[in-house]
């Protein structure tokens, strides 16, 4: 009845079409269930990773909020109560680079005005007037930005023949 296109290979055609239909209709169900199971396993795997990540973050923030104003050595955002000690730390850091801070002014402090039940990120702007050499001032500003991994950003520096002034932005958690 049919011509064999592959010499030497004889194909046996099933005579019962109901067996073929049963086997063919079973294949999509097996494929669907296999894909569903693989997707469920992947979802559970990534869910476990996310839960672990959130647990680590919770531990970090809990430790940060219970630090009671103590400066740590890890990279962390300080609390509001740490601000005076951070300003002293900035002055002593500049003094190590032969820069004498003659005065400083707090230009802004926690001005976001957002009342929240959880601590939020805020900053204080501190303007420091200093005396010293320009090269020392540059080294001092570099050290300030990398000081103890605290959140200090040098906003601007104005140099004069005798020294200059700088505007520091110190980030902290306002609770």
Q: Are strands 163-174 and 152-159 parallel, antiparallel or unpaired?
A: antiparallel
Percent helix, percent strand, percent coil in the chain, to nearest 5: 45, 25, 30
Domain ranges in the chain? Answer: 1-66, 80-174
Task: Report which secondary-structure segment, H or E, holds 69.
Answer: none
Specify the pTM. 0.50
Strongest mean pLDDT among 39-48, 67-76, 100-109, 142-151 = 39-48
Is residue 115 pLDDT above 80, yes or no?
no
DSSP letter (8 states) at residue 77 = P
**In the structure encoding, which two tokens stand for residue 43, read together?**
């979802």
Q: What are the φ/ψ torsions at residue 167 (nearest 5 degrees)?
A: -110, 115
Domain 80-174 in CATH 3.40.50.2300? The answer is no
DSSP 8-state secondary structure symbol assigned to residue 78: P
């Amino acid at each position: 009845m049919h011509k064999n296109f592959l010499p030497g290979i004889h194909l046996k055609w099933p005579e019962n079409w109901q067996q073929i239909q049963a086997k063919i209709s079973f294949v999509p169900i097996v494929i669907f269930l296999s894909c569903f199971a693989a997707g469920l396993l992947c979802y559970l795997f990534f869910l476990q990773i996310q839960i672990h990540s959130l647990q680590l973050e919770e531990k970090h923030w809990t430790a940060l909020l219970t630090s009671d104003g103590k400066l740590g050595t890890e990279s962390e955002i300080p609390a509001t109560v740490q601000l005076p000690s951070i300003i002293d730390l900035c002055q002593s850091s500049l003094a190590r680079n032969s820069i004498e801070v003659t005065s400083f002014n707090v230009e802004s402090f926690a001005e976001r005005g957002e009342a929240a039940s959880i601590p939020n990120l805020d900053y204080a702007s501190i303007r420091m007037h200093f005396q010293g050499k320009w090269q020392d001032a540059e080294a001092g500003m570099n050290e300030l930005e990398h000081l103890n991994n605290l959140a200090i950003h040098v906003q601007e520096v104005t140099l004069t023949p005798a020294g200059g002034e700088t505007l520091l932005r110190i980030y902290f958690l306002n609770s």
